[in-house]
Chains A and B, each alone.
Chain A
Amino acid sequence: MGYKSDTIAAISTAMTTSGIGIVRMSGEEAFSIIDRIYRGKKEKKLSSEKSHTIHYGYIVDEEAEIDEVLVLLMRGPHSYTGEDTVEIDCHGGVYVTKKILETVIKYGARPAEPGEFSKRAFLNGRMDLSQAEAVIDVINSKNEYALKSSVEQLKGAVKKKIDVIRNDIIYHTAFIETALDDPEHIEIDGYGKKLKVVVDENLLRIKQLLDTADDGRVMREGIKTVIVGKPNAGKSSLMNVLVGEERAIVTDIAGTTRDVLEENIQLQGISLNIMDTAGIRQAEDLVEKIGVDKAKLNAGQADLIIYVVDASLPLDENDYEIIEMIKDKNAIILLNKTDLSTVITKQMLKTKIEKPMIEISAKEETGIHELENTLKDMFYHGNVSFNDQVYITNIRHKTALKAAYESLMKVNDSIENQMPEDFFTIDLMDAYEALGSITGETIGEDLVNEIFSKFCMGK
């Protein structure tokens, strides 16, 4: 028997544009959820169909049709997890698959924790003992990644915004709680009106965060692609060509780019998070050195590296350092500046490193099409992919934002219904907790600490 029987959902295929995508749900409510979002030819509900059958139809969210799908039904205990399980095979594609996952979550499932399907399978006795340790490892490694990605990939600004909301919530909660604890010192009659202003303001803030989340901007989704090269190789020019605007400052001065610039672009249906970095060399001034270190760090975490070689100059020690660095990584090498007279050829480079190579001129925008095709090939052949945990984490964040939003709406309901002030804090704390799950913070002693640090208790 599992310790949690709520219904979990996840995308169980790789997040690419090709083939089919599978969204899987497991738990007590899997069947009732699919009943509400599936429309087939027959009137009959899927929950009354036999186990281990396949059904053709559509996933719908009320009136809106999301995709044409095949639905597989497996009743527990005869399923991978041992629980009622529903698999939705859809038309692949990042957008559609994600949309379906969001729909099942909207109707009551929650995003699965890393390794949770396997964990349930094990706990429900569907896996033999020898597999247990593997499950533990999966839980550990995936958790580590999810934690890292969720905190790292949160844009600083988003974390700041969430912190502002959380600080507001905890302050007002603490005030109400202090008054309740010490009613003879602090009066809070009629506090609802004041609180409503605060709640409305924070609802708006969360709404704005949710809107940007819908654009996929809470977290950076896509193949993490890092442009590296020695100074003045033309990395920023390439970035600008790919992004299609003057995003990076381009000069003839080596070392112009000092920080990491990041943009999301779509190349033939593939989402790339493309990062321009400082040129790699033994930098002397401190700012540039920090830039170089960041470049190396990002290259280390990249799903794909685009190495820009200045073909008009001979290779130097900086190039050799980069070649060493990208040896075991997914990389494309661009021989740039074909508009000038070149001294480096593909043949020369091939003796040093085996990677796809393309001759380009970022300045005259030649060879770009070839680059796009190469990228596409690598992606569809599965050479390059990105960790789908990022998507999952993003969906988890969105779910958390929505939960916080709903909790604050409940506070407003309570205010409107003239509920006593102590009811407000129940939902305020729920919102606080939901937001904390995004930034990786738990409640702990926050409330008690806030009470003692901000308000003077009597006695």
Chain B
Amino acid sequence: MKYSANSAWVNNDKYDVVIVGAGHAGCEAALACARLGLSTIIFTVSIESIAMMPCNPNIGGSSKGHLVREIDALGGEMGKNIDKTFIQSKMLNKSKGPAVHSLRAQADKENYSRQMRRTLEKQDNLEIRQGEIVNILTEENKVTGVQTYSGAVYHCKAVVLCTGTYLKARCIYGDVSMNTGPNGLQAANYLTDCLKELGISMYRFKTGTPARIDRRSVDFSKMEEQFGDERVVPFSFSTNPEDVQIDQVSCWLTYTNEHTHEIIKNNLDRSPLFSGMIEGTGPRYCPSIEDKVVKFADKNRHQVFIEPEGLETNEMYIGGMSSSLPEDVQYAMYRTVPGLEHVKIVRNAYAIEYDCIDARQLHPTLEFKNIKGLFSGGQFNGSSGYEEAAAQGLIAGINAAMEIMGKEQIILDRSQAYIGVLIDDLVTKESHEPYRMMTSRAEYRLLLRQDNADQRLTKIGYEIGLISEERYHALLEKEQIIQEEIERLEHTNMGTGEEVQNILERAGSTPLTSGTTLAELIRRPELSYELLESVDYQRRPLSDEIKEQININIKYEGYIKRQLKQVEQFKKLETRRIPENMDYDKVPSLRIEAVQKLKQYRPVSIGQASRISGVSPADISVLLVYMGQK
């Protein structure tokens, strides 16, 4: 039996948008649509799993922290939710440049999920509905509604698919295989077939998670304690920094050893990955412990982070040791790690396989090229990570809403946001593994900092309608203060007075022989805006956030200007739009390979076309000349 939908019952309530899945992508998509005034309904196989974190208990981290900041700047929810529910927070890479500072917080998983659920429940225009979607209804390549497992039909104008890792999900360890989604939740087994019938091509990806263990069985005296930052910076630009100065809990660091590796090596033949039982493609950046031991055989130890899953649970997460080895091997290998000698496993480590799409079938708006009104976001698009998912969910939700309202959809480009890089990579490049964000993927990362996400994106969020008047004006005011203060510093001359020389001497900086501006002094590597406070008599009191902006903008001005110049060049190609009905067969002299690729991808701009592998610079010239004729 396929499913029990032989007699369809039509629910006659009116909906604009249906969101399929209530994970991190689905929640953002639903909130965006509802907040923009559209009648929205969100489906989930289990209400308890709303905004669930089935893998690591963190939000943020390198480049992912940037994404959360950007989501927040556009009016999304993730930043606010983690600010309410974190139990430890760190700014990573603080000793490095501002472009790679990244916030990462440990979440109380249950609380994170509960708070997000409350936010959804309190949202006007939004209905939460438990049920599995098995059918996407279309007419003439346009979405008209969805159908549930029970046969009920919900008509709507747009659908956003955020099915995460649930499609035909299968969890595996050793020779144990279960057809469930993460955490033993019910998988969604029918939607894939419907999508295939709609002409959507699917991939099968794989990822994994380590075991969860009982805190009472861990000997922390053999581990190094890892504390949170003394002064916590919130994720959301709208969170009052004082509200996040809470008592934090610790994480713990320990290591694998040669004994661990020996056990793993001796049991490799029992791993479903090596025996071929798992066919999905796994991510290279998130290798299982058995992958690491095989691939980096020369390393005699690997780090292991023991992290709490929440305040009101004994469960802890074993970061760095995800695995799909059999249960007995899991016990044996975990128990070789110092501090885990007597460890009790609460949940086994497992690998999970699931269906997702080749995201090259999407426009950069995250709408399917072949089906109007069908959008998708999150792990379903071939990404990995809560933050990547939320970012896409937000954009997919916004664009579904924009389409229904007849407004222009938004595409963030690679020079505007990590979200832009993420989506452009997903829809333009061929990928054989779940995609994870990295700062090295962003060409203009000096401009795409986590500290200036509001200056980059809040105006856009305001224009979309997700940022309040009040918040927008606060931003404008902030920008003005920054600008005025930089102006003042550029024009305030410091004499060679004793006080100045003393400060320089203390900082190990060359004394002044003639006067110079404060800005020039700030540019010296050993000095900063903060350090010069005592000799800067006209300075007005400013927030830490604003002081940081001033310091960064002055200190790294040269580098920033260089990147701005590169962006200018980049934008020229990006803004050359290719007409949607472009007939590549009619372009004379275009190479066959290029014609095929261009027809397949249908890039929106010359810039995007130039990033498609198989399209050469000469092809781009030919295209430009051809477009010039029109």
Contacts of B62 in A (CB 8 A): 180-183
Which of B100, B296, B572 has the most A CB atoms < 10 Å from its CB? Answer: B100
Residues of B within 8 A of A418 (CB): 525-526
CA distance A419 to B319 in the complex (A): 32
Closest CB in chain A relative to B229 CB, distance in Å? 13
**Partner of A458 from B320, B559, B622 at Cβ < 8 Å:** B320
Shortest beta-carbon distance from B301 to chain A in Å: 11
Contact of B286 among A119, A445, A457 (CB under 8 A): A457
By beta carbon, the residue of chain A nearest B94 is A183
- Does B285 contact A459, Cβ atoms closer than 8 Å? yes
Contact string, A402-436, partner B, CB cutoff 8 A, digits 1/0?
Answer: 00000000000000011111110110000000000
B573-609 vs A: 1/0 string, CB under 8 Å?
1001000000000001100000000000000001000
In the complex, the answer to whether A136 meets B625 with C-beta atoms within 8 Å is: yes
* Minimum distance in angstroms from A427 CB to a CB of chain B: 9
Given A113-B621, A183-B92, answer yes or no on A456-B440 (Cβ-Cβ < 8 Å): no
Main secondary structure of the interface of A (DSSP, over half): helix
Known A-B contacts A3-B606, A189-B95, A423-B97; A132 and B559 likewise in contact (beta carbons under 8 Å) = no
A to B contact number (C-beta, < 8 Å): 125
Residue among B305, B440, B572 making CB contact with A177, cutoff 8 Å: B440
Q: Most chain-A Cβ atoms within 10 A of its Cβ — which of B97, B286, B299, B302?
A: B97
Interfacial chain A residues near B319, Cβ < 8 Å: 458-459
B residues 121-165 touching A (CB-CB < 8 Å): none
**B622 touching A140, Cβ below 8 Å:** yes
Q: What is the CB-to-nearest-CB distance from A368 to chain B, in angstroms, rounded to a whole number?
A: 44
B606 engages A137 (CB within 8 Å) = no
Residues of A363-421 at the interface with B, using a CB-CB cut-off of 8 Å, are: 417-421
- Of A177, A181, A417, A459, most buried by chain B (CB within 10 Å of CB) is A459
The answer on a CB contact under 8 Å between B628 and A123 is yes
Say whether A139 contacts B622, CB under 8 Å: yes
Contact B303 A458 (CB under 8 A): yes
Instruction: List which A125-146 residues lie within 8 A (CB) of chain B.
Output: 129, 132-133, 135-137, 139-140, 143-144
A139 & B618 in contact (Cβ 8 Å cutoff): yes
Residue from B97, B296, B617, B618 whose CB has the most chain A CB atoms within 10 Å: B618
- The distance from the CB of B191 to the nearest CB of chain A, in whole angstroms, is 29
When distances are taken between beta carbons in the complex, the residues of chain A under 8 Å from B303 are 184-185, 458
Q: Is the CB of B95 within 8 A of A420?
A: yes
- In this complex, the interface size class of chain A, counting residues with CB under 8 Å from chain B, is 35 or more
Contacts of A180 in B (CB 8 A): 62, 93, 96, 100, 439-440
A448 contacts B56, CB within 8 Å? no
Q: Most chain-B CB neighbours within 10 Å: which of A3, A445, A451?
A: A3
Contacts of B624 in A (CB 8 A): 3, 119, 123
Q: Whose C-beta in chain A lies nearest to the C-beta of B287?
A: A457
Nearest residue (CB) in A for B429 is A445
Q: Are A4 and B572 in contact (CB under 8 A)?
A: yes
Residue B618 contacts which of A133, A143, A182 (CB distance < 8 angstroms)?
A143
B629 within 8 A of A: yes
Q: Quick check: is B195 within 8 A (CB to CB) of the other chain?
A: no
Is B99 at the interface (CB under 8 A from chain A)?
A: yes
| A421:B96 contact, CB within 8 angstroms | yes
Say if the beta carbon of A40 comes within 8 Å of chain B: no
User: Chain B contacts of A459 at CB under 8 A?
Assistant: 56, 285-286, 319-320, 322
Q: Is A356 an interface residue (CB 8 A)?
A: no
Q: Digit string of A309-333 for contact with B (CB within 8 Å is 1, else 0)?
A: 0000000000000000000000000
| In the complex, chain B residues 292-325 whose Cβ is within 8 Å of any chain A Cβ | 292, 295-296, 299, 302-303, 305, 319-320, 322
Q: Which A residues are CB-close (under 8 A) to B606?
A: 3
Report yes or no: B438 in contact with A448, Cβ–Cβ below 8 A.
Answer: yes
B440 contacts which of A119, A133, A421, A425 (Cβ < 8 Å)?
A425
Collect the chain B residues with CB atoms within 8 Å of residue A139's CB. 589, 618, 621-622, 625
Give the contact-size bracket for chain B: 35 or more
In the complex, chain B residues whose CB is within 8 Å of the CB of A419: 97, 525
Q: Is the CB of B439 within 8 A of A183?
A: no
- Asked if A156 is at the interface of the complex by the 8 Å CB criterion, the answer is no
The reply to whether B295 and A456 contact each other, CB–CB distance below 8 Å, is yes
Residues of A close to B625: CB separation below 8 A: 119, 122-123, 132, 135-136, 139
Tell me whether B365 is interfacial, beta carbon within 8 Å.
Answer: no
| A4 / chain B contacts, CB cutoff of 8 Å | 569, 572
The docked-state distance in angstroms from the alpha carbon of A420 to that of B572 is: 31
Given contacts A180-B439, A422-B96, A445-B429, contact A3 B576 (CB under 8 A): yes
Contact B559 A426 (CB under 8 A): yes
Given the known inter-chain contacts A3-B606, A113-B621, A426-B559, please indicate yes or no for A181 contacting B588, CB distance below 8 A: no
Interface: A244 (CB within 8 A): no
* Residues of A163-205 contacting chain B, CB below 8 A: 177, 180-185, 189
Judge whether A115 is part of the interface by a CB distance below 8 angstroms: yes
Is A444 within 8 A of B440, CB to CB?
no
Nearest residue (CB) in B for A173 is B440
- Let me know if A3 and B572 touch, CB within 8 A: yes
How long is the Cα–Cα vector from A405 to B618 in the complex, in angstroms? 27
Residue numbers in B under 8 Å from A95 (CB-CB): none
Asked whether B96 lies within 8 Å of A119 as measured between CB atoms, the reply is no
A183 touches B618 (CB 8 A): no
CA–CA, A181 and B559, complex, Å: 21
Q: How far is the CA of A135 from the CA of B438 in the complex (A)?
A: 41
Q: How far is the CA of A154 from the CA of B284 in the complex (A)?
A: 35
In the bound complex, residues from chain B placing their C-beta under 8 Å from that of A417 are: 525
A177 CB to nearest chain B CB (Å) = 4
Tell me if B401 is interfacial: C-beta within 8 Å of chain A. Answer: no
Does B440 contact A181, Cβ atoms closer than 8 Å? yes
Q: How far does the Cβ of B190 sit from chain A's closest Cβ, in whole Å? A: 32
- Counting CB contacts under 8 A, is A447 at the interface? yes
Does chain A have a CB within 8 A of B103? no
Contact between B446 and A426 (Cβ–Cβ < 8 Å)? yes
B440 near A448 with CB under 8 A, answer yes
Contact with A along B280-291 (1 / 0, CB 8 A): 000011110000
Q: A129-B629, A184-B305 are contacts. A422–B97 as well, Cβ < 8 Å? A: yes
> How far apart are the CA atoms of A12 and B100 in the complex, in Å?
47
**How far apart sit A423 and B555, CA to CA, in the bound complex (Å)?**
13
Asked whether A140 and B589 contact (CB < 8 A) given A3-B606, A421-B96, A426-B446, the answer is yes
**Bound CA span A184–B304, Å:** 11
Q: Which A residues lie within 8 Å of B322 (CB)?
A: 459
| Other A-B pairs, 5, CB within 8 Å; known A451-B440, A456-B292 | A3-B572, A180-B100, A422-B97, A458-B319, A459-B319
A interface with B by C-beta (< 8 Å): 3-4, 6, 113, 115, 119, 122-123, 129, 132-133, 135-137, 139-140, 143-144, 177, 180-185, 189, 417-423, 425-426, 444-445, 447-448, 451-452, 456-459
> A-contacting residues of B (Cβ < 8 Å)?
56, 62-63, 92-93, 95-97, 99-100, 284-287, 292, 295-296, 299, 302-303, 305, 319-320, 322, 429, 438-441, 445-446, 525-526, 559, 563, 569, 572-573, 576, 588-589, 606, 613, 616-618, 621-622, 624-626, 628-629
Give 18 CB contacts A-B under 8 Å: A4-B569, A119-B624, A123-B624, A123-B625, A133-B589, A136-B588, A143-B618, A181-B440, A189-B95, A417-B525, A419-B525, A420-B95, A422-B99, A445-B429, A451-B438, A456-B302, A458-B319, A459-B285
